[in-house]
Amino acid sequence: MAVIQQNVGDHKSYFITVDDQLPSPVMDQGYLQLLEPPLLPQLLEAGNWEEAIAKIKRVLVVDEEGADLSHEVLYTCLLYLSSTFAIAFRSQHVTVDELLNEEFDLMIRKKSQISSHRVYGWAEKIIQFHRSKAINQIRHTHDDIASSVHAYIQNHLSDGISLQIIADHVGLHPVYLSKVYKTATGETIGDYLFRLRMQRAVHLLTQTELKVADVSKKLGFMAPPHFIKIFKKQYGCTPQEYRNR
């Protein structure tokens, strides 16, 4: 230690002592939070909206009293958020200016007026908007898939239908298709198939003179006895008894 002191001489300013004032941890907290995984772009890409918003709140120390970030730190966070949003939410139909909206422009032009709460409010609004947009897109996609399932079943009812066959038709894994369909319609594919078969059975029995065996075949049942059993369980009588009413 004595040797070091002798060689330092007039250059003591190059060294930090334990008595020197270290930078406020709040100043660096935002930067550290930005670099901690999962990164914000990853959260947005995965549609993990709530965690993305929570991360921004931690970065801007919104909930910590007396933990105000400097305008320089806030400005850096603002630029980081804007570039992240511009990439994550890029669209051919919306310009970057429209995506980031007028509030961003105001904060950029009046740097001295930005605050943690203002930046957070702006960021949350953008994320919530795109969250709603993504949910609507998923809902529309699910509805389209359900419509494809309905069309296939209606057109191939007599062919003998299975979940695997339908999944191959729409190009999805059977398990995933089942979840998507249930989300879109509130019922299973099996529920829809059963209901459609019973509705068609009633129509064919009352509006045509087809034999019960032929009705069974048109509905995709492998054997008439199975059809009769299912029909009786649903309506409390056999197909022939229903026809004779």
Q: Where are the domains of the chain?
A: 25-136, 161-245
Average pLDDT for 235-245:
94
Distance CA 141, CA 136 (A): 9
pLDDT-derived band at 31, boundaries 50, 70, 90:
low
In the block, residue with structure tokens 């949350």: 124
Tell me the fold of 161-245.
Arc Repressor Mutant, subunit A (1.10.10)
Residue 46's pLDDT is what? 86
Render pLDDT for 123-153 as a digit per residue (tens, 0 to 9). 999 999 999 999 888 889 999 999 999 999 9
**In terms of Cα–Cα distance, which of 241, 163, 191, 206 is closest to 231?**
241
Render pLDDT for 165-214 as a digit per residue (tens, 0 to 9). 999 999 999 999 999 999 999 999 999 999 999 999 999 999 999 999 99
**In terms of Cα–Cα distance, which of 112, 109, 103 is closest to 81?**
103
Average pLDDT for 63-81:
83
Residue 15's pLDDT is what? 38
pLDDT-derived band at 64, boundaries 50, 70, 90:
confident
Distance CA 86, CA 139 (A): 24
Model pTM score: 0.62
**In terms of Cα–Cα distance, which of 17, 63, 24, 56 is closest to 38?**
56
Q: Is the pLDDT of residue 48 over 90?
A: yes
Q: Is the pLDDT of residue 80 over 90?
A: yes
Q: Is the pLDDT of residue 67 over 70?
A: no
